[in-house]
Structure 1
């Protein structure tokens, strides 16, 4: 049986996810996740060594919502825009209703002065499940290769 329909569905979820962030529709960002979920932005070195320390960590959909409320109302940061490029989406398998995928990403950040720079690069390691027939992230690990984060990371990757 062909995996093309599943691959298409996985790619559509990932593309809609990054478009939500890039279009600053962050209040909708938690809707891409199952109620029970994990979201981590973690340095590659920590991931490779099995170290749990992450730059950004949420372990429920409620924490994802809190993250956006804090971004909008409490955090002080330089206003910016993101633009994601994603490539090499690979469906790695499916077991017990959990779909695993890996995707490369690069995030460009543009500040209000118009300067654009590579902000973060790495890979998504995703585990997805069906919620009411729709794919949602159960676990999203953003494993970044970038050695230095130049500003406060407030916006999801």
Structure 2
């Protein structure tokens, strides 16, 4: 039997859905300066394998603990990391609201990320679910925590761009 979803107003649900759509568009655009702006200053962003998450192991593929660290990653993407360029495209499922408070939401959504390298076919790059804590700020809804829990233990040799 499914757990009862918390009561949430249509306006809040639409704002959360818009946040997810805007995030996907931003990280797919290649304009990396947009990415950190989806987060509050004191945030957590983790890309973690499902097995580690489910067993409570802290080891993550990527782990950032502040907006400043996200900005450092953006600098790395642009200036220091050597990689073959590629495009990515996110497909994100409808958000499931697990907990709703006036200024804080616990939300989950499935995602699939496709990667296209220049002159190659598109491939499935990363699949999993977002486990998010979203907070209301004067600038609108922002992520306080984003856990990208990916299903496969096998990942490409490098994940450069945000998931």
TM-score class normalised by the smaller sequence: over 0.9
Counterpart Cα distance in 2 of 1:148 and 1:86 = 21
In the other structure, the counterpart of 1:57 is 63
CA distance in 2, matches of 1:88, 1:45: 24
Q: Find out whether 1:101 has 2:97 as its counterpart.
A: no
Q: Which runs of 4 or more aligned residues in structure 1 lie more than 4 Å from their structure 2 counterparts after TM superposition? A: none
Counterparts of 1:135 and 1:112, CA distance in 2? 35
CA contact (8 A) 2:114 2:124 kept: yes
Quote the offset at 1:94 in angstroms: 1.9
- Within the candidate set 32, 37, 49, 1:31 is matched to 37
Secondary structure of the corresponding residue to residue 149 of structure 1: coil
- Among 1, 8, 13, the residue aligned to 2:14: 8
Instruction: Identify the match of residue 129 of structure 2 among 89, 100, 123.
Output: 123
> Residues of 2 paired with 1:146 and 1:124: CA distance?
14
Alpha-carbon contact 2:8-2:100 (below 8 Å) kept: no
> Unaligned 5+ residue runs, structure 2?
1-6
Instruction: State the TM-score, normalized to the length of structure 2.
Output: 0.92
Deviations 1:89-128 (A, max 9, x none): 1111124732110000000000012321000000000101
Alignment partner, residue 143 of structure 2? 137
Quote the Cα distance in structure 2 between the aligned partners of 1:80 and 1:133. 31
The alignment's C-alpha RMSD in Å is 1.3
Structure 1: 5+ residue stretches without partners: none
Deviation per CA, 1:33-54: give whole Å up to 9, x if none. 0011000000000000011111
Residues 47-98 of structure 1, C-alpha deviations (whole Å, 9 max, x = no match): 0001111101100000000001001111011110000001131111124732
Residue in 1 that maps onto 2:117: 111
> Alpha-carbon deviation of 1:3?
2.4
Query: 1:84 aligns to what SS in structure 2?
Result: strand
How many residues matched? 157
